Structure 1
Amino acid sequence: MTQVRIEPWHEDDLDLLRQLNSPDTRRHTGGPETDEQVLARHDRYVHSAESGPGCMFTVVLPDGTRVGSVGYWPREWRDEPVYELGWAVLPPYRGQGLATVAVRAALDAARARRDRRHAHAYPSVGNPASNAVCRKAGFTLLEETDFEYPPGHLMRVNDWQLDLTAPPADG
């Protein structure tokens, strides 16, 4: 089993966020952001836990290496309050199951809040790796749909849903 832990996003994680802002990592989510956008995102991540339900985390290896991000935040979807999940892992650490383990840990944190029935993830239909993470983490594929991200840009995504009231998926 892949070893990884998640820690709440910290002021010291700005360099990691800048690394995650690469063309390769952001190719399925609208491309890299400007430095101003990255700084604003970093501030939101640092304060996510105190600003309401939802939280951003850093994905950390046992040796302390910070290799990615994962988080959940509230969203209204199809007239239901849900949590949306998102994640990213630096290229040298992909393909090792880290994202799946981190997503499961974030789902456990969302599940513990007991304030939403469902979690959703919306990876691009052209992103096989993120769709595989959804499947391995226990989500159910509902449909292909249009999704606005980043704001002002429609993308074609798979709508994956997970029942937070059900027991966690084995893995």
Structure 2
Amino acid sequence: MSDATIPPVKLEPWSDADFDVLRRQNTPEMTEHLGGPESEEKLADRHRRYLDPTENGSMFRVVLPSGEVAGSTGFWDHEWDGEAAYETGYGILPEFQGRGLAVAATIAAAEAARADGRHRWLYAFPSVEHGASNAVCRKAGFELVGESEFEYPKGHFMRSNVWRLDLTAD
């Protein structure tokens, strides 16, 4: 995607009011490649972690110029191949999909990770079967470095592509 086609989004820190975003993302459609919907208790646990940056890194709601919340993204510490790095993830609500917002949110999260400055690499691990999520990584400038067995959520293993972005590159 060229800069001219990236839609404007703003990342705002995750707040107590964002629990509804998690609920709206917790559908069979949105979790098909992530092991399926989570229980209300697991969602509440996830929300608590998102509110505590020491527990789960930097989590954000993705906000459109209209003020509508389109989904979530973030980055957190993750060791990969013996090296400290960041991992990122994203979820755009169905009614906002197909507009390039996941790419825009991922680029914005990468910029936030770059500004954080503690690690060189930002990784993403979408299922090899999730074409749209892999396209987000490619369009956001990540490099495909291989495949791996990946656990997400805890207890659910999937075959994932390993995408990485060099945060020190211009």
What TM bracket, shorter-length normalisation? over 0.9
Quote the sequence identity (%).
51
Q: What is the rounded CA distance, in whole Å, between the counterparts of 1:45 and 1:22 in structure 2?
A: 19
Kindly state the Cα deviation for residue 127 of structure 1 after the two structures are TM-superposed: 0.5
SS of the equivalent of 1:73 reads strand
- In the alignment, what sits opposite 2:22? 17
2:39 maps to amino acid: T
- In the alignment, what sits opposite 1:43? 48
Kindly state the Cα deviation for residue 54 of structure 1 after the two structures are TM-superposed: 2.5
Matched, 1:119 2:110: no
Matched, 1:33 2:38: yes
Q: What is the rounded CA distance, in whole Å, between the counterparts of 1:71 and 1:4 in structure 2?
A: 14
SS of the equivalent of 1:82 reads strand
Structure 2: 5+ residue runs without aligned partners?
Answer: none
Q: What is the rounded CA distance, in whole Å, between the counterparts of 2:155 and 2:46 in structure 1?
A: 17
Structure (1 or 2) with the greater helix fraction: 2
CA contact (8 A) 1:54 1:110 kept: no
CA contact (8 A) 2:60 2:73 kept: yes
- In the alignment, what sits opposite 2:68? 65
Match of 2:110 among 99, 107, 111: 107
Kindly state the Cα deviation for residue 159 of structure 1 after the two structures are TM-superposed: 0.2
- Scaled by the length of structure 1, the TM-score of the pair is 0.93
* Alignment coverage as a number of residue pairs: 165
SS of the equivalent of 1:24 reads helix
Cα offsets for 1:114-139 (capped at 9, x unmatched): 11010100000010111000001110
